[in-house]
Structure 1
Amino acid sequence: MKPGLREIWDGQLLIGDGAMGTYLYQMGFPVGISYEELNLIHPEVVGDVHRRYIDAGANLIETNTFSANFDKLSKYGLESKVEQINRAGVKIAREAAGNNGYVVGAIGSIRGGRRANISNKELKGYFEQQISALLTEDVDGILLETFYDVEELLIALRRVRKLSDLPVICQFAVEDVTTLDGYTMPEAFSIITEEGADVIGFNCRTGPSGIMRAMDTLQGHLQVPMSVFPNAGIADYVDGQYRYAATPEYFAQSAVKFAELGARILGGCCGTTPEHIAAIAGALKDYIPMPLPQPVITSQRDRIAVAERDEEDEGGGAFTGKPSIVDLVKERHTVIVELDPPRDLDITKFMDGAKALQEAGADALTLADNSLAVTRMSNMALGHLVQSQLGLRPLIHIACRDRNLIGTQSHMMGFDALGIDHVLAVTGDPARFGDLPGSSSVYDLTSFEIIRMIKQLNDGIAFSGKPLKQKAKFVVGAAFNPNVKHLDKAVQRLEKKIASGADYIMTQPVYDPELIAAIKEATAHLNIPIFIGIMPLASGRNAEYLHNEVPGIQLSDEVRQRMAGLEGAEGRQMGINIAKELLDVAMDNFNGIYLMTPFMFYDMSVQLIKYVWEKSEHRAPHLFQSK
C-alpha cells in the first residue's frame, strides 16, 4: 500500500505534471472550446496526456478539471454536466496514474483576479459543487490553483475543509510580492496555513524567475511544504500559434533552486510539456531535501493603502470642482449633445460643430465609440481636444466590442490621466456588420460588467483586483432602449445596470410622445437621472433607414408619414419640428435631454439646444452671468 501524500512530502520530493490546456492546444485543439469537456467526449486524449507526463517522470497528476465549475462551464452550455465532467476527470487520471501515482483534483480560481464579477455566495456554491463531485471519486488530495487573492482562496479552502480532511495544496498566481488583495506572501501563507492548507505554493502567471522572487520573500516564514508550477516563460504569438520560450534545460536548472528554497512538489504550468517535466525529474533524481525551517508566525496584515486623490490635483481635468452631469440634472434641465467623430483625418468640421454646440449652451458633448461598428477617429483624442480647447465637458462612450480587459483598463486609465471623467458604457454593435467585417468583436465584458469594473477603479482597485495608488472619479452612464414590445422587461434590465453601479441613464432616440410618458411612469421608482434621447430626422429616407435597419430605434407611423418623401432643407426642417414637439413632452417629464446630431448637421442640434433654453425656466449655463 502506497503511503499518503502527507507522509511523502514531509521528507521527499514529488514531481508534478505539466500543462494540460496549452498542451492540448499544441496538439491541435483550438482555443474557444471547453478542454474539460474532453473528459466526456475524448477521454482517450486526456488519458494520453496524463500518461505522457507519467512517462516523463511525474508521480503526481492533476485532473483535467481546472475550469470544471458551474460558472465556467455555463459559457459553453455545459453547466448541467459539472458532476459528470469532474468525476470523469478523476477516473481518467486515476487509470493513467495506476497504483503508484498520486491524483489530485484540480480546482481553479473562478474570479480569475476580477474581484467584482461574482459574489462570495455564488463562489461558495460553485466551489462546493465541484469539490463534492471530485470527492466522490478516488482522489488523493485537492489542488486549489491559480488564485490571485487570499479572499477567494479562503472561500475555496473552507469548502474543502467542510467536506473532507484530504490533503490540500493551495497555489497563488502572482507577478509581484503581494497578492491582488494586498497581502504580502508571508502574510498570505500564514493565513492559508491557519485555515488548514497542507502545502502552499505558486503556479502560472509567470515563469521560474518571477516565482523565485516571490519565494525569496518567504525565507524564515515557511510553515508547510511548498509547491511550484511555473509557466514556460512568457507566451509569444508567432504565425498564429502561441509559443513559450523557457527550455527544458532552463527548467532543470530552476528546479534545483526551487528545491533548495523549500519546494516539495515541482511541476509546470502553461507552456510546459513532458520534456520540461522529464528535465525536472532528471535534475532532482538523487536530490535529498533539507528539513524545513522552524515556522515564524506572521499573521499581522499590512494592507496596501489607497491614496485619496488630492482635491486640488485632479490629474489635469478641466472640470475640477465643477458639478457633474448628475449634479446638474438634479437642479435644472441639462443638455447632452452627441456629435460623431469623423471617419477621416480632417477634424475641422467636427471642431467647428463642437464650438457651435458649446456656444449654444450644451452642458456636455458626447462622442460615440465607433458606433454601428464603423471606424472613426478616437473619441479619447477628440474628447481631450474638446475639453482643452473649448472648455466643453466630454462624455465618452466605451464599447465592450473593441477592447479586451487589458485594453479597457488601459483606456480608462488614459481617460483619468486626461481628466475625462464622464463615460457611457455600451455593448457595441458587432464588428461583422461594420466597415471592417473581417475584424473581431472582443466582448470580454458585458455592459453590466464593464460598469462594475469602471466603478471598481473609483474604489482604487484595478480590474485585476490589485490596489491602485489613487482612486478614479468616473461618472458612469448606461444605455437604455425603450423601443421594445415589453417596456417592463427593458426596465428590469435597466435595474441590473443600476445595481452594477450606473450613475445616470441615456436612452436610444424616442419618436413617440406617449412612449416618453410611459418611460416616466415605468422608471419613476429609479433613483438616478434619465436623459431622454431625441434625434432630429434629416429626411424621409433617413426616417425609413432608422426604423427598418438600425437596432434599437423605432419610429411611430405618424412620424414616418410626416417625413415621407421629404429631402434636403425641407426634410431637416420637418425633423426639427417633430423634435421640438418631442422636447415639449420630454421636458415636462425629465430634466435630462440627450440630443443626437444626424450626419454632422450640427446646426439642427444648435436650434434644438436654443429651443430647450427658451422653454426652460433656466437659461443656458454661459448666460448665467449677472448684468
Structure 2
Amino acid sequence: MKPDLRQAWENNVLIGDGAMGTFLYQMGFPVGISYEELNLTAPEVIMDVHRRYVEVGAQVLESNTFSANFDKLSKYGLETKVEEINRAGVRIARDAAGPDGYVLGAVGSIRGGKRTNVSTKRLKIYFEQQIAALLAEGVDGILLESFYDVEELSIALSRVRKLSDLPVICQFAVEDVARTLDGYTMTEALHILQQEGADVIGFNCRTGPNGMMRAVESLGDQLGVPVSVFPNAGVADYVDGEVRYTATPEYFGTMALRFADLGVRIVGGCCGTTPEHIKEISKALTGYVPNPIDKNRVLASPAPRVVYEHTNDNVEDDREPTIVDLVKQRHTVIVELDPPRDLDINKFMLGAEALKKAGCDALTLADNSLAVTRMSNMALGYLIQDQTGMRPLIHIACRDRNLIGTQSHLMGFDALGIDHVLAVTGDPAKFGDLPGSSSVYDLTSFEIIRMIKQLNDGIAFSGKPLKQKANFVVGAAFNPNVKHLDKAVQRLEKKIAAGADYIMTQPVYDPKLISSIKEATAHLDMPIFLGIMPLASGRNAEYLHNEVPGIQLSEEVRARMVGLEGEEGRAMGVTIAKELIDEAMKHFNGIYIMTPFMFYGMSVELTEYVWKRSGREVTPLFRS
C-alpha cells in the first residue's frame, strides 16, 4: 500500500505533473472555451494528457478542475455542472494515476488578483461547493494554486479545513519575492497559512524556474514546512498569433536539482511545460535523497495586516493646495474641455488660456468619452500644466487599459507631476467610433480608486514596493439622474469607502434635483462638484436627454430650448446654466462646468459668473 501524501513528501521529493491548459492549447483546443468542460465532453483527451505525464515519471497529478467553480463556469453557462465537472475531473486523474500515484483536487483563485470583484461571502460559497465535490470523489489532497493574496487563499483554506483533514498544498502566483497583493512579505504570508492548517506552501505560475528559485531562496533557513514549486516554462512569447515558451526540458532538469537542494519536496511545471519537461525533472531527481525537514524551524511571525489609509503623508505642509483643500474653503470651479478628435490642438490651447484668465481652478480632460477616440489626455494635461500653469485633472477610464496599462499610465502621471485624477468606468467601446475594439474592464470604478490610493502607499498593483509614494487626489463620478437617488448614493458611499477624495456629478438640469442631491448626501463628509453643462441648441438638448446615458433634462428646460440654434441656442443655454449655478451655489462649493462642442466662451462666461455671485476677486492658484 502506498504511503499517504504526508509520509510521501516527508521522505522523498515528489514529481508533479505539468501544464494542462497550455498543453491543450498546443493540441489545438482554442482559447475561449472551458477546458474543464472537457472532463465531460472529451474525457479521453484529458485522460491522454494525464497519462503522458504519468509515463514520464509524474507521481502527483492535478485534476483538470482549476477553474471549475461556479463563478468561472458561469461564463460558459456551466454553473449548474460544478459538481459533475469536478467529480469527473478527479475520476479521470485517478484512473490515469494508477494505484501508486496521487491525485490532488486542483482549486484556482477566483478573484485572480482583483481583490474585490467577488465578495467574501460568495468566495466561501463557491470554494466550499467545489472543494466538497472534489472530496466526495476521493482525492488524496487539495491543491490551492495561483493565488495572489493571503486573504483569498485563507478563505479557500478555511473551506478545506471545515470539510476535511486531508493534506492541503497552498501556492502563490508570484512575480517577485517582495510581497503578496495584500501587503504581506512571503515569510509572513507562509506563517499565516501554516498556522491556519496548510501542509505544504509553495509557488506556481507567473514566473519561470529562476524567479521561483528567488522566491524559495528569500525564505532562507526559515523553512519549517515542505515547499512546492510549479514554475512556468520561462517567459511567454506571442509569435504569429501563438503563445510560445522558451525554457527547455534540460534546463528544468538542472533547476529541479537546485530546488531539491534547497529543501523543496514537490517539483512540477505550470504554463508552457510539457511531458518532456517533467521527464527531465524525473530523470534529475531519480535516486535523490533529501535531508530531513527541520520541523523546529518557525517562520517569522506575521506583521499586522496592511491597511491602506489613503493618506499622502509624504507631502510637505507647504505644498500647493489641492482641489479638495480649495473647495473646503471657498467656491471652486473645475471646467471640462474635451481633447480634440484630430491632430490640431490650437483651439484647445486657446480655450485653456481663456479659462486660465477667467480663473478656473482646474481644467479636466475626459478619457475618450462616449468611447470616441480623442487625443491623449495625458499629453494635453502636461501641455496645459507646462504652458498655462493651470492644474490638469485627468479622467482615467477602466475601459481601455488592463491592469498593466492602468498602473503604467498612473506611474506616467506621477512622473509628469499630474496628481489629480477622476476614476470612471468608461462607456463601452462597441458604441464608439471604433466598434470593433475591445472593452477591457479589468477593474471596476471601485477597484481603480482603491488601487490608485494603494500607489499613494508606495505599493504597486502587484504588491511590489515602488520605492516612493505617489500623491494622487482621486475623484469619483456620481450620476444623480436616476429614478432612485438613494440607491445611487449607496453606490457613491462604496466609492468613498474605496478611497475617493471628492465627487464630480453628471450634469444636472433641474434645480429641485440639486436640492435633493444636497439632502441625500448631507451625511457624507466629502466635497461634491455639481455638474453644469450649458446646452448649445434645441437639438443638442434632445440628443442629451434621449440618447446619452446618465443625462436627463427637465421638461421645463427642454421646452425653453425647442427650436433654438446657433448663437440664440447658446445664449439660452448659458442663461439656463446660470440659473442652475445659482441653485447649486446655495448647496455646494464645488462647481463642475462641462464645455459643449469646444464653445469655451460659454464656460468662460459661466466661470466668471460664479466669481461674480461669490463676490470673489479672481486670483486663481496657478502653478509657477
1:510-536 deviation line (CA, Å, top 9, x unaligned): 222333233333333333232221111
Structure 1 residues 65 and 329: CA distance shift in structure 2, 3 A: same
Q: 2:23 — aligned with what?
A: 23
Q: Is the 8 A contact 1:114 1:464 kept in 2?
A: no
Q: 1:297 — aligned with what?
A: 298
Given the alignment, which residue of 551, 566, 571 partners 2:569? 571
Q: Is the 8 A contact 2:481 2:550 kept in 1?
A: yes
1:101-122 deviation line (CA, Å, top 9, x unaligned): 2101112234434456566666
Residue 442 of structure 1, CA deviation: 0.8
Structure 1 residues 151 and 585: CA distance shift in structure 2, 3 A: closer
Q: 1:271 — aligned with what?
A: 272
**Equivalent position SS for 1:622:** coil
Given the alignment, which residue of 327, 330, 335 partners 2:328? 330
* Greater shift in the superposed pair: 294-303 or 435-444: 294-303
**Equivalent position SS for 2:620:** helix
C-alpha distance in structure 1 between counterparts of 2:305 and 2:298, whole Å: 20
Residue 188 of structure 1, CA deviation: 4.9
* Greater shift in the superposed pair: 425-434 or 83-92: 83-92
TM-score by length of structure 1 reads 0.90
1:141 aligns with 2:145: no
Aligned residues: 618
| Paired residue type of 1:133 | A
C-alpha distance in structure 1 between counterparts of 2:144 and 2:512, whole Å: 56
Given the alignment, which residue of 376, 388, 408 partners 1:410? 408
1:435 aligns with 2:433: yes
1:351-407 deviation line (CA, Å, top 9, x unaligned): 211111111121111100011212212111211222233221111101011100011
| Paired residue type of 2:165 | D
Given the alignment, which residue of 385, 389, 392 partners 1:391? 389
1:465 aligns with 2:478: no
C-alpha distance in structure 1 between counterparts of 2:337 and 2:621, whole Å: 23
What percentage of aligned pairs have identical amino acids?
Answer: 76
| Paired residue type of 2:480 | P
Residue 596 of structure 1, CA deviation: 0.6
* Greater shift in the superposed pair: 355-364 or 587-596: 587-596
**Equivalent position SS for 2:11:** coil
Q: Is the 8 A contact 1:115 1:464 kept in 2?
A: no
> What does 1:211-222 correspond to in 2, within 5 Å?
211-218=212-219, 220-222=221-223
* Greater shift in the superposed pair: 490-499 or 472-481: 490-499
Q: 1:209 — aligned with what?
A: 210
> What does 1:597-608 correspond to in 2, within 5 Å?
597-608=595-606
1:173-217 deviation line (CA, Å, top 9, x unaligned): 333333325655555555544544333332112111112223334
C-alpha distance in structure 1 between counterparts of 2:621 and 2:472, whole Å: 28
| Paired residue type of 1:248 | P
**Equivalent position SS for 1:559:** helix
Given the alignment, which residue of 336, 339, 346 partners 2:337? 339
> What does 1:205-244 correspond to in 2, within 5 Å?
205-218=206-219, 220-244=221-245
| Paired residue type of 1:223 | G
Residue 131 of structure 1, CA deviation: 2.9
**Equivalent position SS for 1:146:** strand
1:249 aligns with 2:247: no
Residue 506 of structure 1, CA deviation: 1.5
Q: Is the 8 A contact 1:116 1:452 kept in 2?
A: no
Q: Which runs of 5+ in 1 are unaligned?
A: 314-319
TM-score by length of structure 2 reads 0.90
Q: 2:259 — aligned with what?
A: 258
| Paired residue type of 2:87 | R
1:368 aligns with 2:372: no
Given the alignment, which residue of 503, 506, 524 partners 1:505? 503
Q: Is the 8 A contact 1:252 1:282 kept in 2?
A: yes
Q: 1:59 — aligned with what?
A: 59
| Paired residue type of 1:525 | H
Residue 126 of structure 1, CA deviation: 4.4
Structure 1 residues 563 and 334: CA distance shift in structure 2, 3 A: same
Q: What is the RMSD of the two structures over their aligned residues, measured on CA atoms?
A: 3.0
Structure 1 residues 148 and 429: CA distance shift in structure 2, 3 A: closer
Q: 1:317 — aligned with what?
A: none
Q: 2:112 — aligned with what?
A: 112
> What does 1:441-456 correspond to in 2, within 5 Å?
441-456=439-454
1:551-607 deviation line (CA, Å, top 9, x unaligned): 222223333333233222222112212212222222223222111111111111001
**Equivalent position SS for 2:435:** coil
C-alpha distance in structure 2 between counterparts of 1:73 and 1:478, whole Å: 32
Residue 409 of structure 1, CA deviation: 1.0
Structure 1 residues 386 and 521: CA distance shift in structure 2, 3 A: same
Q: Is the 8 A contact 1:182 1:303 kept in 2?
A: no
Q: 2:179 — aligned with what?
A: 179
Residue 156 of structure 1, CA deviation: 3.5
C-alpha distance in structure 2 between counterparts of 1:89 and 1:341, whole Å: 53
| Paired residue type of 1:352 | L
Residue 454 of structure 1, CA deviation: 1.5
C-alpha distance in structure 2 between counterparts of 1:120 and 1:470, whole Å: 31
Structure 1 residues 182 and 612: CA distance shift in structure 2, 3 A: closer
Q: Is the 8 A contact 2:36 2:85 kept in 1?
A: yes
Structure 1 residues 125 and 458: CA distance shift in structure 2, 3 A: farther
Q: 1:316 — aligned with what?
A: none
Structure 1 residues 193 and 427: CA distance shift in structure 2, 3 A: closer
C-alpha distance in structure 2 between counterparts of 1:308 and 1:355, whole Å: 30
Residue 222 of structure 1, CA deviation: 3.3
Structure 1 residues 143 and 326: CA distance shift in structure 2, 3 A: same
Q: 1:541 — aligned with what?
A: 539
Residue 155 of structure 1, CA deviation: 4.2
Q: Is the 8 A contact 1:140 1:166 kept in 2?
A: yes
C-alpha distance in structure 2 between counterparts of 1:515 and 1:189, whole Å: 53
1:592 aligns with 2:590: yes
1:474-498 deviation line (CA, Å, top 9, x unaligned): 2222212223333333333323323
Q: Is the 8 A contact 1:115 1:463 kept in 2?
A: no
C-alpha distance in structure 1 between counterparts of 2:218 and 2:356, whole Å: 56
**Equivalent position SS for 1:565:** coil
1:401 aligns with 2:399: yes
* Greater shift in the superposed pair: 55-64 or 154-163: 154-163
C-alpha distance in structure 1 between counterparts of 2:452 and 2:462, whole Å: 12
**Equivalent position SS for 1:587:** helix
